[in-house]
């Protein structure tokens, strides 16, 4: 699946969510377990998230236009933000349902068959999560990474629910079922909070990671000492796109063409170091004292 687009992975996630909703709902109906019900509700969140991811990835793939000069890549953050909110909503619903069952415990039925069905759904989620995680890293998509981490959380949630229900059958303590559901709710709130923080960081124009900034600095270091200097270096991350801007200080005796050719070569070198990045340079004479006074050579 190496050549597939991010949207195809979002569709795969949606199909998997439909399958797991059906299986987990069946498991809940067979057993009456509120733990399995909470698991099914989380799969419903997965479906909505996958559909939102497909929309966001479709929008993010659009090229820049007259109204959006930097493209639509930030659309991915809307999807991860929505997923964060839905996770919290699902957690609240699970906790309320579990609270009612905690006050009025009920015996479970057809436990063995219900657990088999639930484990089948868990296996589907585990396989799809691994595919999405690899694709998210390869395509540098926060949407796919968020979906993958959510599915992985769902997998561990399902494992916990299955173990808990098995303990209910062994011990006969029906109260364990709603307690496990409450633990599931707390766990997925943590996942939602982490996704929300990553989304907020992207919407606030976070700079590139330190290792990527170091790659840019390595390119610039190759040209220092040639009568050339750099300052006002800025970076930002928007979805899978990277933006780098800097001022290039060259000898005043250079012609406009010489300066332009050097800037184009420099932009190409930075793009080669950071594939897919967009580089903007501003040419200045190195003899200009105003240029030197503009915050030196730091990243600040």
Confidence bin at 266 (pLDDT 50/70/90): very high
Confidence bin at 87 (pLDDT 50/70/90): confident
Regarding whether 223 and 149 lie in a shared domain, the answer is: no
143, part of any domain: yes
Regarding whether 17 and 163 lie in a shared domain, the answer is: yes
Regarding whether 160 and 124 lie in a shared domain, the answer is: yes
Residue 135 tokens read as: 């694709």
Task: Give yes or no for residue 172 having a pLDDT over 80.
Answer: no
Q: What range defines the domain where residue 180 resides? A: 6-203
Most confident of 168-172, 263-267, 284-288: 263-267
Higher confidence at residue 3 or residue 102? 102
Give yes or no for a contact between 39 and 99, defined as CB atoms under 8 angstroms apart. Answer: no
86, part of any domain: yes
What per-residue confidence (pLDDT) applies to 296?
41
Regarding whether 168 and 260 lie in a shared domain, the answer is: no
Residue 14 tokens read as: 């949606």
300, part of any domain: no
298, part of any domain: no
The total domain count for the chain is: 2
Regarding whether 242 and 113 lie in a shared domain, the answer is: no
Task: Give yes or no for residue 298 having a pLDDT over 50.
Answer: no
Task: Give yes or no for residue 148 having a pLDDT over 90.
Answer: no
CA distances from 139 to 2, 136, 144, 158, 160 (A): 10, 5, 9, 28, 31
Task: Give yes or no for residue 66 having a pLDDT over 90.
Answer: no
Regarding whether 125 and 259 lie in a shared domain, the answer is: no
Most confident of 72-76, 122-126, 146-150, 159-163: 122-126
176, part of any domain: yes
Mean pLDDT, range 114-126, rounded to an integer? 85
258, part of any domain: yes
* Domain end call among 174, 203, 232: 203
pLDDT tens, position by position, 31-64: 887 777 777 877 777 787 788 888 888 887 787 7
Task: Give yes or no for residue 297 having a pLDDT over 50.
Answer: no
Q: What is the CATH number of the domain that holds 158?
A: 1.20.1510.10
Report if pTM > 0.75.
no
Task: Give yes or no for residue 239 having a pLDDT over 70.
Answer: no
Regarding whether 228 and 174 lie in a shared domain, the answer is: no
Mean pLDDT, range 147-171, rounded to an integer? 77
Task: Give yes or no for residue 264 having a pLDDT over 90.
Answer: yes
* Domain end call among 154, 183, 203: 203
Regarding whether 254 and 119 lie in a shared domain, the answer is: no
Higher confidence at residue 76 or residue 144? 144
Mean pLDDT of the chain: 79
Regarding whether 98 and 77 lie in a shared domain, the answer is: yes
Residues of the chain with pLDDT > 70, as a percent, come to: 89
């Amino acid at each position: 699946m190496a050549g597939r687009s991010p949207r195809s992975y979002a569709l795969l996630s949606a199909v998997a969510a439909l399958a797991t909703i059906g299986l987990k709902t069946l498991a809940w109906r067979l057993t009456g377990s509120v733990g399995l019900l909470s698991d099914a509700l989380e799969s419903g969140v997965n479906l909505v998230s996958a559909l939102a991811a497909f929309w966001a990835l479709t929008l993010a793939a659009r090229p820049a236009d007259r109204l959006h000069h930097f493209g639509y890549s930030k659309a991915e953050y809307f999807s991860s933000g929505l997923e964060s909110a839905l996770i919290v909503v699902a957690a609240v619903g699970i906790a309320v349902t579990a609270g009612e069952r905690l006050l009025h415990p009920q015996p479970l039925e057809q436990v063995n068959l219900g657990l088999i069905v639930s484990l089948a759904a868990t296996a589907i989620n585990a396989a799809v999560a691994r595919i999405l995680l690899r694709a998210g890293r390869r395509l540098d998509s926060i949407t796919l990474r968020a979906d993958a981490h959510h599915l992985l959380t769902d997998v561990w949630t399902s494992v916990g629910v299955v173990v808990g229900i098995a303990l209910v059958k062994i011990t006969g303590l029906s109260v364990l079922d709603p307690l496990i559901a409450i633990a599931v709710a707390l766990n997925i709130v943590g996942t939602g909070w982490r996704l929300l923080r990553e989304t907020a960081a992207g919407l606030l124009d976070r700079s590139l990671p330190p290792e990527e900034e170091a790659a840019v600095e390595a390119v610039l270091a190759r040209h220092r000492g040639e009568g050339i200097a750099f300052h006002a270096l800025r970076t930002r991350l928007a979805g899978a796109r990277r933006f780098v801007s800097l001022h290039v200080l060259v000898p005043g005796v250079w012609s406009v063409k010489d300066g332009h050719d050097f800037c184009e070569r420099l932009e190409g070198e930075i793009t080669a170091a950071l594939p897919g990045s967009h580089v903007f340079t501003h040419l200045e004479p190195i003899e200009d004292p105003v240029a030197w006074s503009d915050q030196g050579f730091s990243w600040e």
